[in-house]
Amino acid sequence: MRSSDCGARGREYESEWNSRFERYAKAHAGEAAEFKSMLAGELPSGWDAELPQFTPKDTLATRESASRAEQAIAKKVWNLFGGAADLNESTFTNVKDGGDFERGNYAGRNLHFGIREHGMCAILNGIALHGGFIPYGSSFFVFTDYCRPSIRLAALMELLNALGELNAEPGEASAAEVFAVGEAVEALVVMLAPFAPHVAEEMWEGLGHEGGLARAALWPVADPELARKEELEIPVQVNGKLRSRVVVAPDISETDLRTIALADPKVQSFIDGHEIVKVIVVPQRLVNVVVKK
């Protein structure tokens, strides 16, 4: 079939679908309006009304606090749709009482992707491209390596979630919203950089920065004073095998460290009756006592 024939057939199908939808809209005006709103990527009024509030004093794991926020949003935004790469018991991302999306239950809100992060992200990209649903997936951060092809495609296709859209179109949001979202997106990009630097660099440039993420001077600088320890725990070996540990001051001399290591009762029990060939001292790191058996 020629491409021109495909185009003609597609226009025919689209015209038929539009006619059917017009008839549906007349009979179900509320549902039709909601459908159009979802395709336009709009959130319902009051979608964030029941979001939980957390403070630094809360001891919840972030996956648990995020799950509570998700459940509150899911009550208002029924087109929030996704799941986990067989890790819901750890990520807590299933919509409670949402049912499973499967054969015979296409109203289910929870997708079971299986142990396949790459497939999960590819599916999410497809749902995002179609529109209507707000897709999400979940896994452990270390498994983003499996997601790199889909992450790369999402970046090339400029698939944006609500955060990205708000940051890309500041004219539709208040200055405070843009500033807050911009900070949040930048923080996420910085965290992504060690794991997918090429993707992070593109996202950083997309946020309007010049010079590259590696030159942005965002990384913390070590303070030698904060890194200083009041005492050190030094392993003591006998013939290369760990036999004890001694606690000493950081500035202890090699001679004193040697003396303390040899006087340790556990070390004594291994060297007693043996000739000491030599004592190797690595300052602030290690003592190895070599004995003749």
Name the residues annotated as catalytic: 117
Taking alpha carbons only, the member of 205, 31, 60, 199 closest to residue 121 is 199
Q: Angle, to 10 degrees, between the axis of helix 197-206 and the axis of helix 144-156? A: 30
Strands 134-136 and 80-84: what pairing? parallel
Torsion of CA 127, 162, 70, 78, to 10 degrees: -50
Residue from 193, 293, 285, 291 nearest 238 by CA: 291
| Per-residue tokens: 253 | 């001399």
Rounded to the nearest 5°, which phi and psi values hold at 205? -65, -35
Count of Cβ atoms closer than 10 Å to residue 40 Cβ: 9
Q: Where are the alpha helices (DSSP H) in the chain?
A: 3-27, 29-39, 62-76, 88-91, 117-130, 144-156, 162-168, 175-192, 197-206, 224-227, 254-263, 265-271
Estimate to the nearest angstrom the gap between the alpha carbon of 72 and the chain centroid: 21
* Rounded Cα gap, residues 66 and 61, in angstroms: 9
d(CA 31, CA 171): 29
Nearest to 110 by CA among 91, 82, 68, 89: 82
Structure tokens belonging to residue 94: 């299933």
**Contact (Cβ atoms closer than 8 angstroms) between residue 83 and residue 94:** yes
Task: For Cα atoms 83, 87, 92, give the angle at the middle one, nearest 5 degrees.
Answer: 65
